[in-house]
Structure 1
Amino acid sequence: MPSQRFISVMGNIIVITLSSSARQLRKSFNILLINLALSDLGINLFSLPLSVTSSFAGQWLFGDQGCKVYGALMFMFSINSINTLAIISYVRFIAISWPTWDSKVQNRRYIAMAVSCSWIYSVLWSCAPLLGWSAYTLEPFNTSCSIDWYSRSLSSLSYNISIFISCFGVQLAVIVRCYWLIWRRGSQALRRRRAHWRCKRTTRRISRTQNRLLKMCVIVVILYFVAWIPYAVLSIWTLYFGMDPNIAASVLPSLIAKSSTVYNPIVYVLMHKNVKKAANVILFCCSAGVKRLKVVTSSGSATSDL
């Protein structure tokens, strides 16, 4: 798993660097992609040193306070990730359903406000256990920490039900609803286009760009929920039926959920045209630099032999 997290860290750093530096990627919508990459990066940067060292030792090494900080940070970044996916689905819905509103919704000011609200929302829910509403505790395999899903106290039960609705259910409903409406609107538009084959080239090009971006967003969302739904199911099982069946059954969903941070940068590079183009430019420059260095080194060694 350390290699997986290293790949995730490097991949998200590359996406953030490209999106921040490449001129063609400095668009309002890419602020959301950067925000998602920051959450993925945060999960790995804070979990990598603590959980890996604890895994090698076979037990949690950083005490009760370290467990609380670890759990709060992991939960905060996770909430921000799903919030960002919900915002992306809404922005895509507006862009495709009401193109005249697209420029207003994707205004940098509104995107920045949405991102800020997402972080505030995430901080409030993740800090609640630190203030006494439920708690963070060790997971069954004793090498990482999470929300206390196992306590039967009123505080823990009320918090767990609340976060399942407010930090998973609501976002999932928004995402499913938006993409279902996009699919329905797209089907109607396809029928209209078939009835009117003659359309302008620019309109077709814009449609292809929107479709490519939509496909990328849908794949990111599907991969995210494929990774997190087993953990959500395990949490519900623990919430209603008590302790999970065995340690192996609790380890696997947690590992799968944390692996979701690896997928996003790969999807961006493969499907986002501008990110792929910027990555190719960087790879070309790096390879050219390596070749030039080899030439200089070989010529220097030849001169020294003479």
Structure 2
Amino acid sequence: MRRRSLQAAPQLFAGPMPSSSAEVVSLPSRKPILQFPQIDMEERYVSKLHPTWDYGAGVFLLIVAFLTVLGNSAVLAVAVKRYSRLRSPELLTVNLAVADLGMAISMYPLAIASAWNHAWLGGDATCIYYGLMGFLFGVSSMMTLSVMAVIRFVVTNSAKSNSNNINRKMICVTITLIWLYAVLWAILPLIGWGHYGPEPFGISCTIAWGQFHQSSNGLSFILSMFILCTALPAMTIIFCYLGIAWKVHKTYQDMQNFNRSSNGTKLDRKLTLMAVLISVGFLGAWTPYAAVSFWSIFHSSESLPKIVTLLPCLFAKSSTAYNPFIYYTFSKTFRHEVKHLQCCCGQKVHFSDTKNSFHSHVSVMWSDRGMVHISSVRKKGSGEGPNQ
């Protein structure tokens, strides 16, 4: 009897034997808080690209990160150096540099390491972090550009007395509102309206575009985000600069009729051209990525080759690098300040004369006009060289 009970014991753990008279008992199931597709978690973060593309993407992002940090650090250094002389609208340029620099520092190292690892590093935690940072800095940059366009429009079409009302306090409040707006949209996926997930090619993360068509909640998030964070700011930028272009054209015609052109008009045209190039560059860099993302909302992610989803993503990330080069090309003041920063660093050359026991320190300093100033200080040494 004891042997039969021991032999029957494994059957208690093996589940009920198939029988037509067996009763099925259903237990209530618990739904997970975050529902992901029924895919192996490791597979979601494995690169779907050829290793050559992974290495190439990593090298490209490394170059973009280097140029972004170098250029935008120069912008911030110049802004700090001449802070007291900055005009109020120029603070928006500083804010744009902060957003670009923040994206490069907080996101690109993780993306580069993941590309060279051929798989996303850190799983869900770093994926959410990466998507949140990208959304935060992307929205802040877009809103900053739209505010810049509005201010340029107001300055161009208003009297000088009215344009002077745009003071630093007003710009600082506007910048604060921009960041609060960006933070609000970035945390919405964390509280259940939308969510973050890996890109189709596996080694980057963003808003999970392809899963939103499965629910009205996700679709409402996408439509709201598209209208309030993309469409309206882009339309604002376009209409403002079209209005500015018309105003500048009329002013230029009036000046031609009188055979004169003021320095203020030339400067205004140059500043407007610089702002237009920055905005066009940003919109041009992000438009292919937005198009691919919206395609994935209504179609399967498998309908596009993985490389087609990678290239717009890399192109969009390059938008953080080229603004300083636009400033350097079109702004004589910025160009002068950058050269002055290089000159002020100076170089000290150390010469040792062991025969006469003298040490000579020569300081080389480039002046603003290209002149070279050399100063030398000779100190008598102890008579012992470094190798003695």
TM over 0.5: yes
Q: Could you report, residue by residue, the CA deviation over 1:48-93 in whole angstroms, capped at 9, with x for unpaired residues?
A: 2211111111111112122112111111100000101001111111
What residue in structure 1 maps to residue 30 of structure 2? none
Identity across aligned pairs (percent)? Answer: 30
Name which of 185, 201, 220 aligns with 2:278.
Answer: 220
2:227 is aligned, of 162, 165, 168, to 165
- Report what 1:210 is aligned to: 268
Question: When the two structures are superposed, what TM-score results if normalisation uses the length of structure 2?
Answer: 0.72
1:272 — aligned with what?
331
The 10-residue stretch of structure 1 (149-158 or 165-174) with the greater mean CA deviation from structure 2: 149-158
C-alpha deviations, 1:134-173, integer Å up to 9, x for none? 1000112222210010112222221112111111100110
Structure 1 residue runs of 5 or longer lacking an equivalent are none
**Conserved 8 A contact 1:76-1:126:** yes
Query: Corresponding residue for 1:285?
Result: 344
In structure 2, stretches of 5+ residues that fail to align are 1-59, 359-384
* Distance across 2 between alignment mates of 1:215 and 1:181: 13
Does the residue aligned with 2:135 lie in a helix, a strand or coil? helix
1:152-203 deviations in whole A, cap 9, x for unaligned? 222222111211111110011000010011111112212222222357xxxx
SS of 2:304 mapped into structure 1:
coil
Higher-Rg member (1/2): 2
Matched ranges for 1:1-306 at <5 A: 1=60, 2-23=62-83, 25-100=85-160, 101-105=162-166, 107-151=167-211, 152=213, 153-197=215-259, 204-243=262-301, 244-286=303-345, 289-290=346-347, 293-294=348-349, 297-299=350-352, 304=385
Q: Tell me: CA distance 1:23–1:39, structure 2 relative to 1, closer, same or farther (3 Å).
A: closer
- In the TM superposition, what whole-angstrom CA distance separates every residue of 1:190-229 from its partner, at most 9, and x where no partner exists? 2222222357xxxx11112211111111111111111111
**CA RMSD for the aligned pairs?**
1.9
Aligned residue in 1 for 2:15? none
Amino acid corresponding to residue 17 of structure 1 in structure 2: A
What's the CA shift for 1:43?
Answer: 0.8
Cα 1:193–1:47 change in 2 (3 A) is: same
Q: Secondary structure at the match of 2:325?
A: helix
Residues 249 and 16 from structure 1, CA distance in 2 versus in 1: closer, same or farther, beyond 3 angstroms?
same
More helix by share: 1
Cα distance, 1:108–1:64 mapped onto 2, change above 3 Å: same
DSSP 3-state at the match of 1:137: strand
For normalisation by structure 1, the TM-score amounts to 0.91
Judge which range, 37-46 or 92-101, deviates more.
92-101
Instruction: Using the TM superposition, name which of 27-36 and 16-25 deviates more.
Output: 16-25
Change in CA separation of 1:270 and 1:301 when aligned onto 2, cut-off 3 Å:
farther
Instruction: Indicate how the Cα distance of structure 1 residues 212 and 63 shifts in structure 2: closer, same or farther if over 3 A, else same.
Output: same
In the alignment, the residues of structure 2 paired with residue 223 and residue 299 of structure 1 have an alpha-carbon distance, to the nearest angstrom, of: 52
Between 1:270-279 and 1:74-83, the stretch displaced more is 270-279
Could you tell me how far 1:285 is from its partner in structure 2? 2.6
Distance in 2 (CA, whole Å) between partners of 1:23 and 1:248 is 44
Shift in CA distance, 59/180, structure 1 to aligned 2, threshold 3 Å? same
Q: Is the 8 Å Cα contact of residues 55 and 143 (structure 1) preserved in structure 2?
A: yes
**Aligned counterparts of 1:198 and 1:216: Cα–Cα separation in 2:** 23
Deviation at 1:114, TM superposition (A): 1.2
Contact 1:228–1:256 under 8 Å retained in 2 = yes
**CA–CA separation in structure 2 for the residues paired with 1:263 and 1:156:** 34
Cα distance in 2 for residues equivalent to 1:147 and 1:86: 22
Structure 2 vs 1, CA of residues 235 and 298 (structure 1 numbering), >3 Å: closer, same or farther? same
